[in-house]
Amino acid sequence: MNIKMLKIDDLKPYENNPRKNAGAVDAVANSIKEFGFQQPVVIDKNNIIIAGHTRYFAAKKLKITEIPCVIADDLTEQQIYMYRLADNKTHELSGWDFDLLNAEFEKIFDFDVSDFGFDEIDLDECNTKFTLPEGGKSPFTEMTFTFANEQAEFIKKAMSAVKNDICETFGNENSNGNALYEVVRQWGEQKKLN
């Protein structure tokens, strides 16, 4: 692999990139600021980005003028189209082992992990899902849902918006659970479910 330092202004994002990168730029920028630029951006022979758009936008945000790049001039046009999609899709196919993730978080003292994309919802799931012993959940019930990224972002915004409006917690100390309940409660009032 031949890595070259190229001027960021000479690189071009792929104009039809179907991946939405904006939500990850701050976390990636924090990562680059803290750990350096450890992964090169992959470009074609015309300096159009194949993989690494988020790293590119994060570097621009940090006002970095040169970034490491790999020129994938050995790929066909069809391979470039497919690699651009596959690079993003394969990240979605993995998940977290929350026991091991929690063990890793316990080793970290010098960082605010939310700076790197581990938000309150991630941490709540990690810290509560596996630590309550059997029989220790009463009178509470854990519920796990799977959302598309766009759904999750909207739900997080709604939960954040109602956190100051919560009037009944039923003894629940989980702020995210209370916020989600409040969102649903307000929706239920509008639909006259009570």
pLDDT in tens, 10-64: 999 999 988 888 888 999 999 999 999 999 999 999 999 999 999 999 999 999 9
Q: Is the dihedral of CA 50, 58, 106, 125 positive or negative?
A: negative
Listed by start position, the domains of the chain span 3-92, 97-137, 145-194
CATH topology of domain 3-92: 3.90.1530
pTM higher than 0.85: no
pLDDT in tens, 101-160: 777 877 877 877 778 877 654 555 555 443 334 444 556 777 777 777 788 788 888 888
Q: How far apart are CA 1 and CA 140, in angstroms?
A: 53
